Amino acid sequence: MTVIDANRMHEIETRYPEYFHRSFRQRFGGLMILIATLLYSLYAVWFFDLPKLFAEAHWERVGIYLSQWVSYDVQPEFRIEGDGSIDIRYPRFSPLGDNPHPDWLVNNPDGSITVSISGTSRSVTVSKSETIVTAHGVSVPVEVSSGALKVIGPVPGWMTVYDDNVLADLGFAGNVSISVDRVKIRKRFIGWANFIFDTQSSFFDKPVGEVVSLIVSGPRIKPDQSNLSLAFDDIWNNSEWQHGDVWTKLFQTIVMAFLGTLLGSLTAFPLAFLAARNITPNRLLNQILKRFFDFLRSVDMLIWALFLTRAFGPGPLAGSGAIFLTETGTLGKLYSEGLENIDNKPREGIKSTGAQTVLVHRYGIMPQIVPVFVSQTLYQWESNVRGATIIGAVGAGGIGLKLWEAMRTNANWENVAYMVILILIVVFIFDTASNALRHRLMGTKAH
């Protein structure tokens, strides 16, 4: 065991004062940060009233919206006429077309109609005097007598009885609404209805093999147009999914992001040389340009888009202009800071040979900054693809406007899912491509 005397101890303390004579900040800084973070979190909970917010939130809508992203429903309505007959009606633009005859709807010999909601475990039988709902292992008759509804037997938990209506919730499979003179059924299916061909297409509701056969070697459906061209037109002009319009707007979004970023980088590049203190030794000009960059990027892209849509009207021009103004400020700041951090030795060496200013910049500065500038520009371009989607919602063109229109109706959530997936794919492709280019320019390996 080694014993350290007082002199040796004093020598160690003198040599390493940072370990033996720590300041208050060094000793308690971590604890103070932890306490400050906790206090701020408690303040945020109080300020936003999070307990009330979570208690009053409509969490049930999350499941409804998510189910509508991956499914569609058919809503037949059964009207009981005065003579006891049952008239079947479908909403306008039904996914099944104008004259549907689904196999899950069966006309019984006694005049009643049975609708299979989910196999045989969930079904509805409609007759002139009663409606029988079968679910969860029980069958519940709802009789119509003297213009009033009457549930026979105990009312299960999945059925709600009102004065003039009985509602049966059958879960994801659908629901049933029963009134005195009509029964409305919502039957849900997994998938996206009529995604390829809509109900107006000549290929609608045909098996895949038959469609392929018609396209490859079948007789022409329209004498003046080949079946392949007709099929493409029907897909591109699908009235329900609007593939042509969606893809055109998606391409507009990509072009907006590319054009705005390109123009912003071309404008910011020369201005950055004037704003960099070590390149242009004019403090007044440096400060004016840097404050100009601050102004352009302090106004959010969405606000620029609102200004420009008022000036030029809705369309991709306003979107490209908003991205251009924002990127001029952002890239101008990044470029100028990059120039101020270069190694001046190559520049000074070339300048000592008596080379002109253009050549000094070309050989003393450009090799250092080009990979960094290109990397920053590619990242901004990738980011602007996402930003262009947002500004499209305020009328700046692109797929953002289509997305907003689909969400605003609160009924086309499968179309919303379609466009969101397209945006995710585009962002993923651009992210992968820009990462590969950045790593190649920087001379590093992509992981």
Q: What is the 3-state secondary structure (H, E, C) of 279-326?
A: CCCCHHHHHHHHHHHHHHHHCCHHHHHHHHHHHHCCCHHHHHHHHHHH
Q: Give the model's confidence band at 49: pLDDT under 50 very low, under 70 low, under 90 confident, else very high.
A: confident
Alpha-carbon separation of residue 274 from 268, 280, 294, 307 (angstroms): 10, 5, 15, 28
Q: Give dist(CA 231, CA 226) in Å, integer.
A: 9
Query: Mean pLDDT across the stretch 104-120?
Result: 88
Query: pTM value?
Result: 0.79
Please state, in angstroms and rounded to a whole number, the distance separating the CA atoms of residues 90 and 3: 95
DSSP-assigned states of every residue in 121-162: TEEEEE-SSEEEEEETTEEEEEEEETTEEEE-SPPPTTEEE-
pLDDT tens readout for residues 320-343: 999 999 999 999 999 998 888 887
Query: Looking at residue 2, what is its pLDDT?
Result: 60
Phi and psi, residue 124, nearest 5°: -135, 130
Which pLDDT tens digit goes with each residue over 243-264?
Answer: 999 999 999 999 999 999 999 9
Residue 233 has pLDDT above 90, yes or no: yes
Residue range 154-180, pLDDT digits in tens: 999 999 998 889 999 988 888 999 998
- Per-residue pLDDT tens digits for 284-313: 998 999 999 999 988 889 899 988 888 888
What mean pLDDT value characterizes the chain? 86
The pLDDT value given to residue 447? 54
Q: How confident is the model at residue 205 (pLDDT cuts 50, 70, 90)?
A: confident
How far from the centroid of its chain's Cα atoms is residue 393's Cα? 12
Give per-residue pLDDT as tens, 345-404.
Answer: 777 787 777 777 777 777 777 877 888 888 888 888 888 888 888 888 887 778 888 888
**Tell me: the pLDDT tens digits for 29-38?**
788 899 999 9
What are the structure tokens assigned to 177, written together? Answer: 């609404």
**Which pLDDT belongs to residue 18?**
62
